[in-house]
Structures are given as C-alpha cells and as structure tokens.
Amino acid sequence: MILFRTLRWKNLLSTGNHFTELKLNNNTNTLVVGANGSGKSTMLDALCFALFGKAFRNINKPNLVNSINNKDCVVEVEFDTNNKSYKIVRGIKPNIFEIYCNGELVDQAASRDYQEYLERFIIKLNYKSFTQIVILGSASFTPFMQLSSTDRRAIIEDLLDIQIFSTMNGIVKDKLANIKDLTTNKKHEIDLEQQKYDLQKKHIDDLKQNNDEKVKEYEGEISGNANTISTLADQIELFSNEVQQLQILVNEKVETEAKVKKITKIESQIESNLSKFRKDIGFFQHNNDCPTCRQAIAMEFKEKELTLLNTKVTECDHGLKELEKKLTEEQAKLNSINETQKKIQELQIKIATNNTSITETNKYIKKLENLLVELKNKNSSTKKDDDELCIINVTLTDLKQHLCDLIEEKTYYEAAFNLLKDTGIKTKIVKQYLPIINKLVNKYLASLDFFVNFNLDESFKETIKSRHRDEFTYNNFSEGEKQRIDMALMLTWRAVAKLKNSSNTNLLILDEVFDSSLDTNGTEELMKILHMLEDVNLYVISHKGDILQDKFSNIIRFEKIKNFSKVIK
C-alpha cells in the first residue's frame, strides 16, 4: 500500500518558480476546477514525472520545463510504504533524481539502476500499472481494453504481484543461456583436452613401440653374435684337436732328422771306404811291385786282394743303394712332417683369427648391452610422458564431471523455466483470479447501470455479452459505455490491488472523466461508487464544477495569472 502524502512542483509547464503543493492524504474528495490551460492536468504530469521520470501526457522532458523561467523545474512527492517514509525529488535543469528514505538519501551507487530500484523495490508498480489504477484521464490515457494482450498481462501480473515470476523467468532464461554457453564451451574444452590426450597417448605408444623394436633388434643382434662366438669357439676346438693330432706327427721330426744325418754320415763313410777300395783296386791293377819295399807283389796275393777288394766294393755299392733308399724314405717322411708343420701353423693362425673375432664380437655384444641399458633409461624418460598423460586424464575427467554438473543444472533450470513461463505458475494464479476479476467488473458495470456480461479469458481477451445482443468487443460500444467499462476495470484493479495489498494506493485522480461522454445517469452512478471507496483521496478534474461541486467536500481552483498557473484557495 502506498500512502501518498504530498505532491509539489515548480517551473513545470505553466507553473512558475513557486511550489504548487497538494495534500494527498486528508481523506477528502477534491474537485479540481479552472479554465482551459489553467494548469489542472499538470498535477498528473507532476505525479508521473516524480515517480517515473516521464509525464503522464506525451510531453518530452525538455518541454516540461517552464518556458519562461527555463530552469529549476522540480517535482517532489512524499509517500509512506512498507512502514517507511519516502521522498522522491526529480528535477530538470539541473537534472535531479533523489530518493530519500526516512529522511536519508538512498545511495545511488548502491543500486545499478536507481529508477528500477524505485519501481521494483519501493513503489512496486511500473508506469503502465500505475496509470491504470491511480489515474483515469482523458488525455493520452490508453484504457486497459485498448492495450495489447502483452501489456494487459503485464498490468495484471503487476497487480497480482506475480511479476516476480517473470523476473525469475528472466533470470532463469539468462542463466539457461549462460549454462548453454558454458556447456558449449565445456564441450569444446573437452574436445581439445581429448585431442591432447590422444596425441600424448600416441606419442607414448610410438615411443614404446620404437623402444620395443630397438630392444628386440639389439637382443636379436646379441644372440646372433653369441651364436657366432659359439661357432668360432667350436671351430677353435676342432682346429685345436687337429693341431694336437698333427703335433704327434711332428714329434718324429727330430728322430727323423737324426736318422737322415746318421744315414748321410754312414753314406759318406761308405763312400770314403769305397773310394779307398777303388784306389787299392787301381793300385793292384797297375802295380806289380810294392812301392815301399820295391819287392814284387805276389800274383796270388794280388788276386786274393783284388777279389777281396771287389767284394768290398760290391758290398759298399749294395750298402749305398740300401742307404739311398732309406734316406729317400726318411727324407719323404721329413717333408711330410714339414708339410704338417705348415698345416699346424695355418690352423694356429685360424685359431688366433677366431680368438680375435671372439674378442671383437664380445666387445660388440658389450656395446649392444650398453645400448640396451640406455634404452631402459629411455623408458624412464617416457615415465615423464606417462605422468603428463595422467594429468591430462585427470583434467579430462574433471571437465567431463563439470559438463555432467552443467547438464544436470541445465535440466533444473529448464524445469524452472517451464514453471515460470507464461503458461506455468502464472497461468495457474491468473486462472484463480480471473473469475474474481470478471465478477468485480460485472458488479461495477451493473452499479454503473450497464448490464452486460463481461468476461476476460486466460489470454486476456474480452468478450462482452449484452443482454439482448450477441457477443461484443470493447470497440462495439458507445463512448459513454466504453467509459463505464474503463471505470469498472479501474475500480476492479483497485479492488484487486486492495485484495492483494500489493499495488494499492490512497490516491485516485480522474481527469475530465465526467466531462466527456458520461450522461447524467452515469455521472450520478459513478459518483455513488466513488463515494463508497474507502480510504481514498479522490481528485476529480472537471469543467462541470457547477453540477458536481455539492458532491465534493473540497474544491481547488487553478488559475493562470500573468502566464503562471496557481492554485486559488
């Protein structure tokens, strides 16, 4: 409930540099009279400007400033709500917008949008709703029935205090959009992390495969070389055995050489003897006397000696032949031994070569073994890669968990969104109130002597059934009938507001409602209803002062004196 206390303004439209002030809380019905242009409707602009920063009529802000003084346009409104006293000060040239709560200025920096703060948290009404329940004017006032269904919905939601659901819906919508963005980003992050994981995994697999292949290769080489060593060792054994065997043959060399020497010596002795025997034979054959004693050599002796000597020669020749044969044999044997010795040497060279090969191969195996150790050390460097893969995996799991959380959160928000959208909770509440609204409208219409059956449906479309006629819409009706409908709706909104204790106010201003289309009957009926309203400060702006004045406890008169509007008490 907003209890307006005072409204004052200066340098607004035709008002000059002195405040025009209205008391809004003395529970009276005030008739506002004055000539055209005297400044009556200015009070509506003052009130709307103070609360919403824009005039009730379609006048832009610079044009609100009094054109003579052209500065210092100030409007102030004071009211109580939620057990607090508020004062709003608004000005043009210079621009002022101040909200005072219990005499203290509300920090402008604390609320991002000062106006929004005022509408949402203090007066809890927006411009549209305010003008539907506080002001009924002829000028630039759009009756409820001429508003779009969206605007109708907004006003009713405001009245029923269910705009919080729209606000919540807005927040949920933003959150949903945000979550959708976050989900998309998260999916993208997961994709990137997955790619990173796959690359790292491939890198590790490649490294491992390379290592394994190298290890296999080196192991294969080591085993091949070990086989070679074994083959070489086998050969050495064979060669050594052969050398051992051949060595036995060579062992006879000294003996054979001694034999040859002996045979040669014997041979030379025999040949020496043979030469002596032949010389002796030659002596006996050519000499008949002894050269020493000069005695003749006996023939018998000579023959005997010759026979003996010839026998000896024959024996020597025979012996020589035998020795020659033996020598040839022994020499052949010695040659064979020499050949064997050569063979042994060759074999020993082979053994030495094999030994060298074995040594070299062993060295090579050692080198391969060292390389294997190095490969194993390389395996420990892939541990670093494994650790990195592990970290990526943890991040990936985290991201996936976040995504799950987001998806879960999204489902909650989607559920909330469904509840909060127009067809959700709000429709349920509106559905509950629609029969009450329709009942109230019909009650007020009947009070205004207008007997029709008005019905507003869930989509805020009206059908109006007259008693004798078919279904009508608002536009079918005459101006006076329309005005009755407008009045009935306004009174209904006020009643609903009172029921809800939400957007209720103690102020009602009717600008020329009685002047245009209402007939005498309508005027009287309306006055009756207005008098029945409780706790309301009613301001009725009218040119029909003469007819209406006895129906009001209070009359104020506006006059324009020297181009400035004033209230004449």
Complex with ligand ATP: residue 13 or 496, whichever CB lies closer:
13
Looking at the Cβ atoms of 310 and 549, the one nearer to ligand ATP is 549
In angstroms, the CA 539 to CA 329 distance is: 167
CB of 555 to ligand ATP, least distance (A): 14
Binds ligand ATP by CB under 6 A, chosen from 10, 14, 136, 490: 14
What does 239 bind: ligand ATP, Mg ion, none (CB cut-off 5 to 8 Å by kind)? none
Whole-angstrom distance, CA of residue 121 vs CA of residue 163 = 12
Least distance to Mg ion, CB of residue 37, Å: 8
Q: How far apart are CA 240 and CA 259, in angstroms?
A: 29
Q: At 386, is the secondary structure helix, strand, or coil?
A: helix
**Are 166 and 156 in contact, with CB atoms under 8 Å apart?**
no
Residue whose CB is nearest to ligand ATP in the complex, by number? 37
Q: Rounded distance, CA 309 to CA 277, Å? A: 6
Say which DSSP state 251 is in: T
Size of the residue set binding ligand ATP (CB under 6 A):
15
Report what 63 binds from ligand ATP, Mg ion, none; CB cut-off 5-8 Å by kind. Answer: ligand ATP
Which residues, at least 6 apart from 472, have a Cβ–Cβ distance to it below 8 Å?
452, 463, 464, 465, 466
Among 413, 450, 552, 558, binds ligand ATP (CB under 6 A): 558
Give the one entry of ligand ATP, Mg ion, none that residue 131 binds, where binding means its C-beta sits below a cut-off of 5 to 8 angstroms depending on kind: none
Q: Which is nearer to Mg ion, 75 or 437 (CB)?
A: 75
Which of these, 125, 115, 185, lies nearest to 154 by C-alpha position? 125
Length of the chain: 569
Residues in 177-206 that interact with Mg ion by CB under 5 A: none
Cis, peptide link before residue 94, omega less than 30° from 0: yes
For position 140 contacting ligand ATP by CB under 6 A, the verdict is: no
Q: How many CA atoms lie within 13 A of 360 on its CB side?
A: 8
CB of 41 to ligand ATP, least distance (A): 3
Count Cβ atoms within 10 A of the Cβ of residue 321 and give its class: 0-12 exposed, 13-18 middle, 19 or more buried: exposed
| Residue 38 interacts with, from Mg ion, ligand ATP, none (CB under 5-8 Å by kind) | ligand ATP
Compute the distance between CA of residue 211 and CA of residue 491 in angstroms, rounded to an integer: 91
Residues 33-72: x/- map of binding to ligand ATP (CB under 6 A)? -x-xxxxxxx--------------------x-xxx-----
Residues of this chain, 41-80, that bind Mg ion according to CB under 5 A: 41
Q: Exposure string (b/e) for 386-420, b if CB count within 10 Å is 16 or more? A: eeebeebeeebeebeeebeebeeebeebeebbebb
Minimal distance, residue 34 CB to ligand ATP, in Å: 5
Which x/- pattern, by CB under 5 A, does the window 13-42 give for Mg ion? ----------------------------x-
Q: From the list ligand ATP, Mg ion, none, pick the one residue 153 interacts with, judged by a Cβ distance below 5 to 8 Å according to partner type.
A: none
Residue 39 interacts with, from Mg ion, ligand ATP, none (CB under 5-8 Å by kind): ligand ATP
Closest by Cα among 430, 432, 482 to 454? 482
Nearest approach in angstroms of CB 37 to ligand ATP is 3
Applying CB under 5 A, the residues found at the interface with Mg ion are: 41
Applying CB under 6 A, the residues found at the interface with ligand ATP are: 13-14, 34, 36-42, 63, 65-67, 558
